[in-house]
């Protein structure tokens, strides 16, 4: 018999099974709690609630561990490409050379989007936020692929939709950027790899091509790997919840894009650059803002330092710090905002106040620096995040779809409104 916990309530004892994962994580299985006791649990923000069992990503915030399908993020970032990691997340194993080649070619063959998408894009003003545009364009794909509405499609059909989605999202993302810049769209180019093709569509113009720096390309590919999945975060959980209703894959991921748009989720690296610009505008006095961060009575927060999940260090930050250093060295950028960032980094890594509280620079800090160095506007930061996170969203959607115990997500609540009361006619109110 497995482990169990006992709940003592109202003179009765209820047995609650303990579920143990492959990394010895324990959870109380309360699936029958309401049925047996009449109780539900209240966990605001779901910080202590497991919504599913998953074999995709393991995260241990206390020890700074992040693994995709059992492989450390450090090894994957060093030895794999983003498409290789995408295959791993979606299909569960690292691909063979033949599998990766076919996967890459299949994706390359589906990078174009329907020409009518341009008509939708033209309807947006240039001031429209690229994440709003992207979410809308992703959702619109359901109209172009109506068979995606059928929840009973074959495995082959589902796989075709997944490949199509990975292929088209960089195109839609780059076009949302072009709309923001009011520049002509650039079509994907055959012969370029996934990351290079995105950079091509972002920065090329009809009049000239932009040389793709291999250091920049490598840094962006690493960022895509590092952001590919992060367990049951807000956007991944959103994709699962929407998908549990048998909504189309496009609708589910569109909802994930919308969730990622929030400044507390995918907008964190944007907040870093905005903070740095604020410090610059105020004279660039680092000491002043470090003191403000230490002052408990001051509402100011240093963005990009520490992490809600990682309690000691962010393993992704250790990887991307080097990439950020490489990009800045390669490009020789002279930017007072980035100078402030480097000074803040030095303080956080050496000041005892920050070290004691584990307020280390996180992945959002370094990704913001890289994007800033490339001249990418802050509104595009969460869009790049969305490209990366797509492979994770698809993995969670597919895992959810194949779960034999799948039920539509339907959280409970504790009602705190008025009790039963009599209706009052309008002339008596």
Question: Which residue out of 200, 227, 230, 307 is catalytically annotated?
Answer: 307
Which of 310, 380, 368, 316 is closest to 342 using CA atoms? 368
Secondary structure element (H or E) that encloses residue 225, with its range: helix 214-226
Which of 167, 183, 165 is closest to 175 using CA atoms? 183
Which structure tokens are listed for 384?
Answer: 């790049």
DSSP 8-class letter at 70: T
Separation of alpha carbons 130 and 300, rounded Å: 28
Buried/exposed 373-384: b ≥16 CB within 10 Å, e otherwise: bbebebbbbbbb
Which structure tokens are listed for 60?
Answer: 């241990």
The CA-based angle 296-348-278, given to 5 degrees, is 70
Separation of alpha carbons 76 and 85, rounded Å: 7
Residue 320 burial (10 A CB sphere; 0-12, 13-18, 19+): buried
18 forms bridges with which residues in the sheet?
28
Separation of alpha carbons 227 and 244, rounded Å: 24
307 labelled catalytic: yes
- Residues whose CB is less than 8 angstroms from the CB of residue 343 and which lie 6 or more positions away in sequence, other chains included: 286
- Residues whose CB is less than 8 angstroms from the CB of residue 302 and which lie 6 or more positions away in sequence, other chains included: 275, 289, 290, 293, 344, 348, 359
Secondary structure element (H or E) that encloses residue 111, with its range: none
Secondary structure element (H or E) that encloses residue 6, with its range: strand 4-9
Question: Which residue out of 204, 221, 229, 364 is catalytically annotated?
Answer: 364
Separation of alpha carbons 404 and 90, rounded Å: 18
Give whole-number Cα distances, 349 to 13, 49, 352, in Å.
51, 33, 8
What is the arrangement of strands in the sheet containing 65-68, beginning at the earlier edge strand? 57-60, 65-68, 71-72
Catalytic positions, written as ranges: 307, 364
């Amino acid at each position: 018999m497995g482990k169990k916990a006992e709940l003592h309530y109202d003179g009765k004892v209820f047995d609650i099974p303990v579920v143990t994962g492959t990394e010895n994580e324990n959870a109380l299985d309360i699936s029958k709690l309401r049925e047996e006791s009449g109780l539900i649990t209240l966990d605001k923000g779901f910080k202590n609630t497991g919504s599913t069992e998953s074999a995709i990503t393991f995260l241990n915030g206390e020890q700074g561990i992040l693994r995709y399908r059992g492989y450390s993020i450090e090894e994957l970032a060093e030895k794999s490409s983003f498409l290789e990691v995408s295959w791993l997340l979606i299909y569960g194993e690292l691909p063979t050379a033949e599998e990766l080649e076919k996967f890459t070619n299949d994706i390359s063959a589906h990078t174009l989007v329907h020409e009518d998408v341009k008509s939708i894009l033209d309807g947006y003003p240039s001031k429209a936020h690229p994440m709003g545009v992207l979410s809308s364009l992703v959702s619109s794909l359901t109209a172009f692929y109506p068979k995606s509405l059928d929840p009973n499609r074959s495995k082959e059909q589902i796989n075709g939709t997944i490949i199509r989605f990975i292929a088209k999202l960089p195109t839609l993302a780059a076009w949302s950027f072009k709309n923001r810049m009011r520049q002509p769209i650039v079509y994907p180019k055959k012969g370029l790899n996934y990351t290079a093709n995105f950079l091509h569509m972002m920065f090329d113009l009809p009049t000239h091509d932009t040389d793709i720096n291999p250091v920049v390309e490598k840094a962006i590919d690493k960022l895509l790997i590092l952001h590919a999945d992060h367990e049951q975060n807000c956007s991944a959980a959103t994709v699962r919840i929407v998908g549990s209703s048998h909504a189309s894959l496009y609708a589910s991921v569109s909802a994930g894009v919308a969730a990622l748009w929030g400044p507390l989720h995918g907008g964190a690296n944007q907040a870093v650059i905005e903070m740095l610009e604020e410090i610059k505008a105020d004279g660039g006095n680092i000491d002043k803002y470090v003191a403000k961060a230490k002052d408990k009575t001051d509402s100011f927060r240093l963005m990009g330092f520490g992490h809600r999940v990682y309690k000691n260090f962010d393993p992704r930050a250790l990887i991307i710090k080097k990439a950020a250093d490489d990009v800045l060295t390669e490009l020789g950028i002279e930017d007072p905002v980035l100078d402030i960032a480097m000074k803040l980094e030095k303080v956080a890594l050496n000041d005892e106040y920050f070290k004691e509280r584990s307020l280390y620079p996180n992945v959002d800090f370094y990704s913001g620096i890289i994007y800033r160095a490339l001249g990418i506007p802050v509104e595009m930061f969460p869009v790049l995040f969305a490209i990366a996170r797509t492979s994770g969203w698809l993995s969670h959607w597919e895992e959810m779809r194949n779960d034999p115990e799948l039920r539509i997500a339907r959280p409970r609540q504790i009602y705190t409104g008025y009790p039963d009361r009599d209706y009052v006619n309008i002339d008596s109110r």
